[in-house]
A and B are shown apart, each in its own frame.
Chain A
């Protein structure tokens, strides 16, 4: 492979300035002013959900090098926990958001601990996938709590808010814009958190674990602590996102959150956008989800397309579409000295 070249195109993706991130946030904040159509806002909200999920998965896989195939489990845990709290204990959904995340984060340690001993990626992949399958089995069979395959419905939505004692915000089923802003807030908090984490000592430690666990350990990096940190933070935010999803859609079924299909979607989005890059997963989420919305006839083939995308990206553009496009442009320009046989 033309290694040197990949580095050059990757550099463009790795330079993440606060200005760029701020700019993207501002665009996302202003978008509903331009697009008033509820349907488009709904699509954008779903983009943000998957952007958050993919970014947190990326934190685990792209930055720390823990190959998890169980990310959907934490999403589902947050969703179910928050839904049940609000339905059975009548808690406010606003409280459900952090509690759902906390619950997902704590349970992630339950699978995190056994995974610590596993050195090679495929073992971790099996263990995490099995973990999410356990949850699926529990969710389907604990009928008295989760209603099993029948699913939960009538999940309460967010209660109305008065922002800064001035602006009343009401959450009704028809108006999608308030929900968009809630999800956008979750997304922005997640991204800012990941940004600061990856630029801190913790981030350095996480990356060193990815590069070489033994070397990191010999230099005094506490592998256990940092790996569990990665597990906790990434599943916390996945849980919060799940909780939002539950109160947004207001219906939950075991297969809609815990299925392997969700996982494939997250993996495909991350890889298409560029794994191990900060903005890659967000880019991938917007590109794939909006792309599939535009090609409406293909919507029935959604999972087939995600599967095929996954295969193509790994084969042809292992660093994501942006890097791939750069590569093609450079090749067309005839960048000499790179990629020669």
Chain B
């Protein structure tokens, strides 16, 4: 019989993990929604977030509240530059979705091996943002996990409001629907693409900074979450923001509950089985359009 408190603990772990998947996946889905492309370098932005935190807090002894915004701004700029230099020139070429997918694969492997060569392949530890635990219903809950849940909630609400209320959000939605029509309305869709790409990179980096203290920082830390995030966006439906959030939570919960039955090495398999299942039963995902 599985002990009740273990079950609850795994549920909370699942929520924490799931909210991180949701963050990474919402970045992917944001790009797909506006630019109609997949970013196979997304995991490397997550990794850059982790390394940024490590360099800021451990190497330079900066306080967390300076490091975090600094890392996010730098990753945003890297994202914008990559889009401007490497992806924007491909826009509008025939077969551009394929070449864009392949080019991000190249960018990703470059960044990953750059990190490996210049920052080393050791597993680095980063301290928690908030030390200590709090007792909730007779259970010890680490402050850091609460921080992760809070961050995710804030980001989701902020994004939702930005998309709904601001001029930028409207421009983004218009571009997503039809970039030519958006151009006719005076929306510079290229600039929207650029900012979207940067923001998406930021979301991945944010997840990287949040999870770096739990897992360790290394050049390959991004590939696992990225593949999971791909599965999440398919589960939720490519291009759907709420689908990414819900899909992320489902995935996190499935994975952490599967630990009750499987050893941790095998738990990765559950997410892949989930993917095969979706592809066979409902390729458009939970909230997907008929684009597949």
A interface residues, Cβ below 8 angstroms from B: 1, 67, 69, 114-115, 117-123, 125-127, 129-131, 133-134, 137-138, 140-141, 260-261, 263-264, 267-268, 271, 300-301, 303-304, 306-311, 314-315, 318
Contacts and interface: CB of A to CB of B under 8 A. Distances in A.
Nearest to B275: A130
Contacts of A303: 109-110, 112-113
B1 interface: no
A310 B103 contact: yes
Most buried by A among B102, B105, B292: B102
Interface residues of B, number: 44
A304 B110 CA distance: 5
Given A304-B117, A314-B90, A140 B265 contact: yes
Given A119-B292, A122-B38, A300-B117, A311 B107 contact: yes
B280 to A, nearest CB: 5
B101 A304 contact: no
Given A119-B292, A133-B227, A307-B110, A125 B101 contact: yes
B114 interface: yes
Contacts of B66: none
A173 B89 CA distance: 49
A1 B108 CA distance: 27
A117 to B, nearest CB: 6
B272 interface: yes
6 contacts: A119-B292, A125-B40, A130-B231, A137-B272, A303-B112, A304-B113
B105 A267 contact: yes
Interface of B: 32, 37-38, 40, 86, 89-90, 93, 97-99, 101-103, 105-114, 117, 223, 227, 230-231, 234, 238, 263, 265-266, 268-269, 272, 275-276, 279-280, 283, 291-292
B93 A318 contact: yes
A123 B105 contact: no
Given A122-B37, A303-B109, A314-B90, A130 B227 contact: yes
B102 A314 contact: yes
A57 to B, nearest CB: 12
A183 to B, nearest CB: 26
B89 A315 contact: yes
A135 B86 CA distance: 32
Given A122-B37, A127-B275, A264 B105 contact: yes
Contacts of A118: 279, 283, 292
A134 B223 contact: no
Given A311-B110, A314-B106, A117 B283 contact: yes
Contacts of B275: 126-127, 130
Given A119-B291, A260-B223, A264-B109, 20 more contacts: A1-B93, A117-B279, A121-B98, A122-B37, A126-B38, A133-B227, A134-B269, A137-B265, A137-B272, A267-B106, A303-B112, A304-B117, A306-B109, A307-B108, A307-B109, A307-B113, A314-B90, A314-B99, A314-B102, A314-B106
A301 B117 contact: yes
B283 A67 contact: no
B226 to A, nearest CB: 10
Nearest to A265: B109
A261 B90 CA distance: 24
Contact of B38 (A119, A125, A138, A304): A125
Contact of B292 (A120, A129, A137, A308): A120
Nearest to A264: B109
Contacts of B106: 264, 267-268, 306-311, 314
A323 to B, nearest CB: 15
Contacts of B276: 114
A119 B275 CA distance: 16
A311 B103 contact: yes
Given A314-B103, A315-B89, A126 B98 contact: no
